[in-house]
Amino acid sequence: MGKVGIIGVGQSAFVRAYPGSLKELAFEGYKEAVKDAGITAKDIGASVVCSAPEYDKQRSPAGVIAEYLGLNPQPTFYVETLCSSSSMGLKLAYSLVKSGLHDSVAVIGIQKMSEISSAESQERMGRGTDIQWESPFGTMMPAYYALFAQAHMAKYGTTLEDLSLIRVKSSTYGPLNEKAVFRKSLNLENLTSPDSRMTAPIASPLRVGDCCANADGSSCIIIANEEKAKALSKNPIWILGLGAATNSVNLTGRKIYTGLPAAREAAKQAYEMAGISAKDVDVAEVHDCFTIAEMMAYEDLGFANPGKGKELIHGKETYKEGSIPVNVDGGLLSKGHPIGATGGSQIRTIVQQLRGEAGEIQVKDPEIGLVHNIGGVGLYGNVTILGR
């Protein structure tokens, strides 16, 4: 059926508390994407709405959002894989277009996390693990990733300073991203001084500065088959590779704790489909829900050997001017993390990079970009490879 291209991308500002409804928030990302693509709702054959439903008061949000966006009577689908929902939504949309069922599909990521309290949110995140064997013991996301950090430190000698340097990089680019929640520059002293709020403990060894924050936000990615993409877009970005994998929901079922096997398997699939290797990637967005998550992503994706990810951050190789720029839009650590919208936001950043439209964070002449998006505690792994 030919290639599948991305013709439009959009994203709302990510904020701590959006004042409008879920439908209005979805429109924020959607309106930017259709304007970017130069199309209207009648040009979209189907929609895929992506979120984690436990945060929504609206039951079956896909139909409600599709109606509000004027996408009826076209079919709408609902996808949920926790924090990787909109990356998985893109995989579904790709399949719908590649099969010939639809010539274009909009992937809409959405989350309004401020609908519930922080305590309720943490409890629901804990339920992303096994509700029979793990979450009853009070495990939450920071605690899980703290276990990964402890394991990485024990095996490879990773230090708090190594992790702090990842947040320093994030805060170098966060102030340049008008869509980000946190736009304040931080230095190493801010992240290591005992008098700094950023060093307040969350789950040892992780501190405030090591953790991303919940946010409200939406994203939208519009894809089309090769014929329609070329007709509608002067510069379509092509989907070259898609990888997805799942892992044991219980951490006791994992074979390693210094990386995420689902991410490694998803990367392997995506590289094979695209016919490339890690060294061919020019710019990447990785799922930095915690600083240790970005460190593990360097190694899981093959940008560094196991235990050597810290060399990339110390050498500034993951900065805009480095050999493999990573999260030069500030990543989740600066942008915030509206669960269902996060993958779409990452994809938007890479599309803008490949088009040469990223402004102050533009990497020099990238041809291939990668998105690494994780759901839950490494339960779901998604890797997307895009090319111009």
337 is catalytic: yes
Catalytic residue, from 50, 83, 212, 289: name it: 83
CA dihedral 300→12→52→124, nearest 10 degrees, is: 90
Q: Is 318:325 a contact under the CB 8 Å cutoff?
A: yes
- Residue 340 to residues 16, 26, 107, 143, 374, Cα–Cα distance (Å): 15, 11, 11, 22, 11
Provide the b/e sequence for 274-293 (b: ≥16 CB within 10 Å): bebeeeebbbbbbbbbbbbb
Classify residue 157 by burial, with Cβ atoms within 10 Å: 0-12, 13-18, 19+.
exposed
What residue spans of 241-384 are helical by DSSP H? 261-274, 291-300, 309-314, 331-335, 339-355
Rg of the chain over all Cα atoms, to the nearest angstrom:
19
Task: Cis check for the bond before 205: say yes or no (omega within 30 of 0).
Answer: yes
CA–CA distance, 171 with 184 (Å, rounded to integer) = 6
Q: Which of 1, 377, 55 is nearest to 215 (CA)?
A: 55
Q: Which of 279, 270, 228, 269 is nearest to 100 (CA)?
A: 228
Q: Is 375:246 a contact under the CB 8 Å cutoff?
A: no
3-class DSSP assignment, residue 220:
strand
Strands 216-225 and 104-112: antiparallel
CA–CA distance, 54 with 247 (Å, rounded to integer) = 21
Catalytic residue, from 102, 152, 287, 337: name it: 337
3-class DSSP assignment, residue 90:
helix
| Token output for 161 | 């300073």
CA–CA distance, 256 with 307 (Å, rounded to integer) = 13
Distance of CA 45 to the CA centre of its chain: 25
Q: Mind telling me the catalytic residues?
A: 83, 337
